[in-house]
Amino acid sequence: MESHPHVRVLRGKKILLGVTGGIAAYKAVTVASRLTQAGALVDVLMTAAAQKFVTPLTFSALTGRAVVTDLWSPAGNGQIMHVALARETDLFVVAPATANTIAKLALGLADDPLSATALASRGPLLLAPAMETGMWLNPVTQQHVRELIQRGMFVVGPMQGRLASGAMGIGRMAEPPQIIEMTRKVLGRNGPLAGVHVVITAGGTQEPLDPVRFVSNRSTGKMGVALATSARDFGAEVTLIHSPLQVGVPFGVASIPVGTAAEMHAATFNLLPRTDVLIGAAAVADYRPATVADQKIKKKSGSLEIELVRNPDILGQVGAQRQQSGHPKVMVGFAAETEDLLANAKAKLESKRLDLILVNDVSAPHSGFGTETNQVTLLDKWGDVLPWPLLSKDEVADRLMIWVARRIQGKGLGDLGA
Ligand code: PMT
């Protein structure tokens, strides 16, 4: 398999991580490490108070870069370090952001390397506040945060939970995975799908037989969640219509939970007037039990026959009305096949009036249901066929979003090579 450990939206990005003096400073270590592993260049700036909680050495060992602790550190090219860093940054993340640092940022004070760099920087700023509940709820802190948001800065958290004092309340820093997700969302906000609403279906629908049993399939939702994450990173507004998933709904993605194919059908049609791109990654049950027993079906001697009736074909019905309504502009399906892959996928592409279908051999190892990877072949409505190698589901999603962005601009499969 081709290996892509990096996260596309983070790869090569210059991120400043400002660490201030709160107990959550130890979690900033995880943020620095994960951003670096995902391909970002992370320069850490620490206030004096932050160094009482974690040492600069910890951060420099993880990022492989010098940590700025002194306002007057030279950058080595005759420039002052914080001025040089401010010029080059794609995003400045402050985690944890104490009430004191938030106040400095709001007022434009610049008496330490972190606040001076923030003042000099023209890029976006993302704050992850962490403080005692009283400090957070104090009107002066709230006023500062409002002002910073009005000036275009971004905030993640704080969360409810256990605070340093042992008390429960709001003020706990957002967890590192959430800070990373928000970092991705902010970096991607002006991406190629900005202003585009992407609706994705995911998971295996559950068709009830009785109050405790249902008919379903092995879909975990991993493929759909990878698509939603990628669409978000490309700047899209994303809605995930999903049956129960074995993975979490990504941060910054709207979630519409459903159970049955009929519910997924209704949710999809509700959103249709606002849908620019529809991607069907859900494994929708083609059949459901004709009747749902009110009580748990009892065991009897002999066999049990269950009558199944057809479910609505969601993409098929959306495709049938596409020309009149103009929605969605782009429609993509997946074909889960075990034989005659290309012929079966082509028939689905045509009958559902899709622009593109990705066929996966769900009987092959490492592909299809529940796997981290997928091997898909793309068939578009112009007759182009393009096999992709075995890739992580994240990479399949990223490549598909490149196709979607090109399609929104009126282009075909083009040079989207293997
Ligand atoms: O969720 P994972 O564990 O990560 O697994 C991923 C996956 C294998 C489920 C995914 O890659 C996939 O192939 N999804 C489509 C599964 C499927 O239902 O395929 P199909 O060939 O039966 O349907 C073709 C297309 O029509 C699909 O886009 C499907 O969402 C859609 N469909 C199908 C039936 C139906 N009644 N309504 C539909 O809209």
14-188 and 197-415 agree in CATH topology: yes
Residue 11, both tokens: 């790869």
DSSP 74: B
Separation of 236 CA from ligand 1 center, angstroms?
Answer: 22
Q: Please choose from 222, 271, 315, 318 the residue to mutate so as to test ligand 1's pocket, defined by most ligand atoms within 8 A of CB.
A: 315
Could you tell me which of 369, 374, 416, 341 has the C-alpha nearest to residue 2?
A: 374
Task: Quick: pLDDT tens for 235-256.
Answer: 999 999 999 999 999 999 999 9
Q: Which CATH architecture has domain 197-415?
A: 3-Layer(aba) Sandwich (3.40)
Helix (H, G, I), strand (E, B) or coil at 311: coil
User: How many angstroms separate the CA atoms of 284 and 287, rounded?
Assistant: 9
Task: Quick: pLDDT tens for 283-333.
Answer: 999 999 999 999 999 988 899 999 999 999 999 999 999 999 999 999 999
- At position 99, the amino acid (one-letter code) is A
Asked if 233 and 188 count as a contact pair (C-beta separation under 8 A), the reply is yes
For ligand 1, what atom is nearest to the CA of residue 283?
18
Burial of 12 (0-12, 13-18, 19+ CB in 10 A): exposed
Task: Quick: pLDDT tens for 346-389.
Answer: 999 999 999 999 999 898 989 999 999 999 999 999 999 999 99
Residue 251, both tokens: 């941060």
CATH match for 14-188 among 3.40.30.10, 3.40.50.1970, 3.40.50.1950, 3.40.50.300 = 3.40.50.1950
Domain ranges for the chain: 14-188, 197-415
Using a 6 Å CB cutoff, which residues line ligand 1?
201, 219-223, 261, 280-284, 286, 311, 313-315, 333-336, 348, 360, 362, 368-370
- Between 219 and 413, residue with greater pLDDT: 219
pTM, entire model: 0.93
Is 217 an annotated catalytic residue? yes
